[in-house]
C-alpha cells in the first residue's frame, strides 16, 4: 500500500528553528504531547548498547491521533486540535500546547522520528505510522491505517539515528530535571505516571517544601495580568532555576537567578497569562527587554530571597535547639543581663558559622562536639586572644574593609568579620615568612632578587608597601611607567620616544604602585617606584644613585609633568653601607629621605622598618576585633548582626543574568 505524503505549509528555516531544543526540553515536549492526549502512563526509554545511545522512545496510553487529523496536525503549524480549547478531550486536564510546534522538537535529538499511532475510528481501532526526517522537514510520510485488535490506544514516538550520546538524558540528573519540569503538573494530577527507564518521576519524594505567593498584577494599558509564584525547595542538589510559565504552570523559559541561597536548592515557577501572551506573539525570547515583566521578575526574586532568609533562620534555630537536645550546648540558664545576652549571641553566631564551614564539626561525636563548644564559650567569655584565634582561623573579610573593622563590627554581617580575620591571619603568616627569608642567615644569603624576592612581592603582596596602592608596572622600563602614568591621569600625550635616565640608559624599575590620594582628592594620584635589593646588598651610594637616576628622569621629562601627581622612589634592602647611612641621615631631611624636589621624593628604606609598619597595621586590625560588648553601640551591632547572619542570602553581582531559554539548544 502506498504511503501518503503531506507538505508542511511553512518555510524550512522556521522548521529548522522549531527542530532545535535542549535534549531535556525536546524530550519534555514529547511527554507534554502525551499528557495533552489524556495519557495516564508515559514511559521514556533510552536504548543504549556497547556502541552508545541508539534511540529515544516515549510511549503513552493516550487517545492517540485519528488518521484523518494527520494532514491538519502535521501539514500546517497552528493546526493543533488544542487551539480551540484549554482542556483535554476526555479527562478535562489543562493543556500544555496548542500551536502544533512541539512535535518538531523531537528532531533535536536525532535524524529520524517515527510516531507509531493506535487510535479509535468510528467503527474500529486502527494503527499507522508517521515519519519525519530532519533532511526533509517539510515532507511528512504517513502509512495507511491497519485494523488492530487487543491493544490500547496511544502513541510511541521513537527518535533514531541520534546525533550523539546525550549524557543529560541519563542518570539522576535527568530524573531530577524532568521532575522539575513536571513537578506542578504531577502534583495537580497524581493519577499520572511518568517514568524514565522504569524509574518513576515522583517530585513529592524530592520536594522539601512547596509554597505559593501572589505577586502584584502587571498593568498593560487597560488590562491587568495577575502573577503567581510557585516555589519548590528540593531535597536533592540541583540547579537554581526560575521558570517563566503559562498561567497553568507549564514552563516556557528557564532563567538562572542572580543570587545565592546557600544550602537550599529550588525551582521557582512564575505564572501568568501575560507570559502566555508573550509566548504566543513570539516576544517571550525578548523578555529581558520588557521593563514591565522585568519588574515583576525582580519582585519574584525578592520574594524567593525573603523566603529562604526565613528558611535559613529556621534552620539555624533548629541547629541550636538540636545542640540543646543533645546536651552539648554549653549554656544551661537563660541570659540574665544584656551583656550575657550579647555574649550568647556572639557564641551562637560563631558556633553556627563553624558548623556551616567545617563539615567535620557537625559529623563529630557528641562528646567531641560538647568539648569544642565549651572551649568556644570559654574563649568568648575571656573576650581576648582565644576568641580572636577562632575568628582568624575560621573567618574572612575583603581587604578594602580591614581598616574599618571596628565600624564593620557595628554595621556589617558576621561573614565580613570572618573574612577580615582570615585575611589578617594570612598576612601575619606572610610577614613571618618573608622576615625569615630576609634575615635568617640560612636563607638570606641565597635569596635572589628578581626571580624570588621580586616575584613573591609582585604576587598580590604589594600591600606590604601600603594598603591603598595597586601594582601597575612590574619589572618594566621607565617608558612603560610613563604609559601607566598617562593612562591613570587620562592624558593622551603621544609617547614617541623612550624615557631614559640622564646618562641615556634605559631604566628598568622593579615595581610601580599607584593610588588615588584619599580625603576628597580623588583626582590626585600618587606613584610609588620600588627598587628591590637582595638582603646581602647594603644600601650605599651606588644604590642610591641608581634610584635617584629614575627620579631625575621623571623630573627632566616634561611628559611626566602633572600638578596633581606625586612621585615617591624607594630603594629597599636589609641595611645601609656607611656612605649610604650618612646620605640618608641628613639633618635637614627626614630620616631615610635622600632627595626632595617639588612633587618628587627619593627614600632609602630597610626591610625592618617596612615589616614593622606592616605588622603594626595588622596589629591595629587585631586590636579593633576586640569589641567591648558592654557598650550600647556594640549591643546594637550584635542584635543586627545576629539577625542578618541567620538570613545569609546575598546577591551574586558577578553572575551575569544568564537567560537559558527552554527551547535553546
Cα distances (Å, whole numbers) of residue 57 to 27, 41, 102, 131, 157:
9, 14, 15, 14, 5
Claim to verify: residue 607 and residue 465 sit in the same structural domain: yes
Last residue of a domain, one of 263, 279, 309: 309
The domain tally of the chain equals 4
Claim to verify: residue 125 and residue 207 sit in the same structural domain: no
Q: Provide the percentage of residues in the chain whose pLDDT is more than 90.
A: 25
- Write out the E strands in 279-367: none
Q: Provide the percentage of residues in the chain whose pLDDT is more than 70.
A: 70
Claim to verify: residue 156 and residue 223 sit in the same structural domain: no
CATH number, domain containing residue 499 = 3.40.1350.10
Claim to verify: residue 70 and residue 181 sit in the same structural domain: yes
pLDDT reported for residue 405: 31
Rounded Cα distance between 532 and 529, Å, is 10
Rounded Cα distance between 239 and 655, Å, is 14
Rounded Cα distance between 588 and 584, Å, is 11
Of 68-72, 96-100, 212-216, 639-643, where does mean pLDDT reach its minimum? 639-643
Rounded Cα distance between 117 and 8, Å, is 20
Q: Is the pTM here over 0.95, yes or no?
A: no
Q: What is the pLDDT of residues 542-582, one digit of tens each?
A: 999 888 888 887 776 656 665 577 888 899 999 999 999 99
In the predicted structure, residue 294 carries a pLDDT above the cut 80: yes
Which residue did the predictor score with more confidence, 412 or 306?
306
- Edge-to-edge order in the sheet of strand 525-532: 470-477, 508-516, 525-532, 565-573, 600-606, 593-597
Claim to verify: residue 396 and residue 509 sit in the same structural domain: no
Q: What is the pLDDT of residues 458-499, one digit of tens each?
A: 777 888 887 777 666 565 545 565 555 555 545 555 444 444
Q: Report the SS3 class of residue 630.
A: coil
Q: Quick count: other Cβ atoms within 10 Å of Cβ 507?
A: 23
Last residue of a domain, one of 157, 188, 219: 188
Query: Is residue 591 included in any domain, yes or no?
Result: yes
Q: 664, 663, 649, 607: which is closest to 240 by C-alpha?
A: 649
Rounded Cα distance between 59 and 152, Å, is 12
Q: What is the pLDDT of residues 34-63, one digit of tens each?
A: 998 999 999 999 999 988 999 999 999 999
Contact (CB, 8 A) for 53 and 165: yes
Contact (CB, 8 A) for 410 and 637: yes
Q: Which residues of 527-557 are buried (b: 16+ CB within 10 A; e: fewer)?
A: bbbbbbbbbebbbbeebbeebbbbbbbbbee
Q: Quick count: other Cβ atoms within 10 Å of Cβ 289?
A: 9
Query: Is residue 624 included in any domain, yes or no?
Result: no
Claim to verify: residue 465 and residue 551 sit in the same structural domain: yes
Rounded Cα distance between 606 and 609, Å, is 6
Query: Is residue 314 included in any domain, yes or no?
Result: no
Contact (CB, 8 A) for 125 and 148: yes
Amino acid at each position: 500500500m502506498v504511503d501518503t505524503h503531506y507538505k508542511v505549509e511553512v518555510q524550512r528555516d522556521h522548521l529548522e528553528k522549531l527542530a532545535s531544543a535542549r535534549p531535556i526540553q525536546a524530550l519534555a515536549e514529547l511527554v507534554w504531547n502525551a499528557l495533552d492526549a489524556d495519557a495516564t502512563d508515559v514511559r521514556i526509554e533510552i536504548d543504549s548498547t556497547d556502541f552508545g545511545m541508539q534511540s529515544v522512545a516515549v510511549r503513552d496510553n493516550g487517545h492517540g491521533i485519528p488518521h484523518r487529523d494527520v494532514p491538519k496536525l502535521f501539514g500546517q503549524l497552528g493546526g493543533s486540535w488544542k487551539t480551540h480549547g484549554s482542556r483535554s478531550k476526555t479527562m478535562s486536564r489543562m493543556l500544555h500546547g496548542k500551536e502544533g510546534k512541539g512535535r518538531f522538537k523531537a528532531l533535536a535529538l536525532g535524524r529520524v522520528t517515527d510516531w507509531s499511532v493506535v487510535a479509535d475510528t468510528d467503527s474500529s481501532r486502527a494503527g499507522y505510522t508517521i515519519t519525519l526526517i530532519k533532511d526533509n522537514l517539510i515532507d511528512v510520510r504517513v502509512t495507511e491505517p491497519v485494523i488492530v485488535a487487543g491493544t490500547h490506544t496511544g502513541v510511541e514516538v521513537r527518535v533514531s539515528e541520534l546525533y550523539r550520546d546525550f549524557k543529560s538524558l541519563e542518570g539522576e540528573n535527568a530524573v531530577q530535571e524532568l521532575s522539575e519540569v513536571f513537578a506542578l503538573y504531577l502534583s495537580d494530577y497524581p493519577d499520572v505516571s511518568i517514568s524514565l527507564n522504569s524509574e518513576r518521576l515522583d517530585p513529592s519524594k524530592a520536594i522539601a517544601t512547596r509554597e505559593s505567593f501572589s505577586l502584584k498584577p502587571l498593568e498593560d494599558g487597560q488590562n491587568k495580568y495577575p502573577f503567581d509564584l510557585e516555589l519548590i525547595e528540593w531535597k536533592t542538589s540541583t540547579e537554581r532555576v526560575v521558570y517563566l510559565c503559562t498561567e497553568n504552570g507549564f514552563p516556557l523559559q528557564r532563567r538562572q537567578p542572580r543570587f545565592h541561597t546557600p544550602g537550599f536548592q529550588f525551582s521557582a515557577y512564575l505564572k501568568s497569562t501575560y507570559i502566555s501572551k508573550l509566548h504566543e506573539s513570539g516576544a517571550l525570547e525578548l523578555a529581558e527587554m520588557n521593563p514591565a515583566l522585568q519588574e515583576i521578575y525582580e519582585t519574584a526574586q525578592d520574594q524567593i530571597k525573603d523566603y529562604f532568609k526565613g528558611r535559613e533562620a529556621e534552620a539555624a534555630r533548629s541547629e541550636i535547639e538540636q545542640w540543646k537536645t543533645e546536651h552539648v550546648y554549653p549554656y544551661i540558664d537563660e541570659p540574665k543581663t544584656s551583656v550575657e545576652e550579647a555574649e550568647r549571641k556572639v557564641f551562637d553566631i560563631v558556633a553556627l558559622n563553624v558548623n556551616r564551614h567545617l563539615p567535620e564539626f557537625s559529623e563529630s561525636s557528641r562528646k567531641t562536639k560538647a568539648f569544642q563548644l565549651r572551649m568556644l564559650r570559654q574563649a568568648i567569655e575571656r573576650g581576648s586572644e582565644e576568641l580572636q584565634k577562632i575568628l582568624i582561623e575560621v573567618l574572612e573579610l575583603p581587604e578594602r574593609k580591614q581598616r574599618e573593622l571596628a565600624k564593620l563590627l557595628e554595621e556589617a554581617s558576621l561573614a565580613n568579620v570572618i573574612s577580615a580575620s582570615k585575611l589578617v591571619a594570612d598576612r601575619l603568616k606572610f610577614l613571618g615568612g618573608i622576615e625569615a627569608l630576609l634575615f635568617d642567615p640560612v636563607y638570606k644569603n641565597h635569596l635572589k632578587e628578581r626571580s624570588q624576592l621580586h616575584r613573591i612581592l609582585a604576587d598580590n603582596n604589594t600591600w606590604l608597601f601600603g594598603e591603598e596602592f595597586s601594582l601597575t608596572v612590574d619589572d618594566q622600563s621607565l617608558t612603560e611607567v610613563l604609559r601607566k602614568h598617562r593612562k591613570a591621569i587620562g592624558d593622551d600625550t603621544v609617547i614617541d620616544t623612550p624615557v631614559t635616565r640622564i646618562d641615556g640608559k634605559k631604566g628598568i624599575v622593579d615595581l610601580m604602585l599607584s593610588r588615588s590620594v584619599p580625603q576628597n582628592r580623588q583626582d590626585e594620584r600618587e606613584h610609588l617606584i620600588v627598587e628591590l635589593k637582595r638582603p646581602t646588598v647594603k644600601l650605599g651610594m651606588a644604590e642610591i644613585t641608581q634610584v635617584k637616576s629614575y627620579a631625575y628622569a621623571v623630573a627632566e621629562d616634561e611628559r611626566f609633568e602633572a600638578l596633581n601627581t606625586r612621585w615617591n622612589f624607594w630603594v629597599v634592602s636589609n641595611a645601609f653601607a656607611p656612605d649610604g647611612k650618612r646620605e640618608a641621615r641628613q639633618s635637614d631631611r627626614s630620616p631615610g629621605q635622600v632627595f626632595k624636589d617639588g612633587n618628587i621624593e627619593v627614600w632609602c628604606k630597610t626591610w625592618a622598618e617596612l615589616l614593622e609598619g606592616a605588622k603594626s597595621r595588622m596589629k591595629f586590625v587585631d586590636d579593633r576585633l576586640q569589641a567591648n560588648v558592654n557598650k550600647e553601640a556594640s549591643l546594637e551591632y550584635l542584635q543586627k548582626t545576629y539577625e542578618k547572619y541567620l538570613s545569609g542570602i546575598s546577591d551574586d553581582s558577578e553572575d551575569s543574568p544568564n537567560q537559558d531559554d527552554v527551547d535553546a539548544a
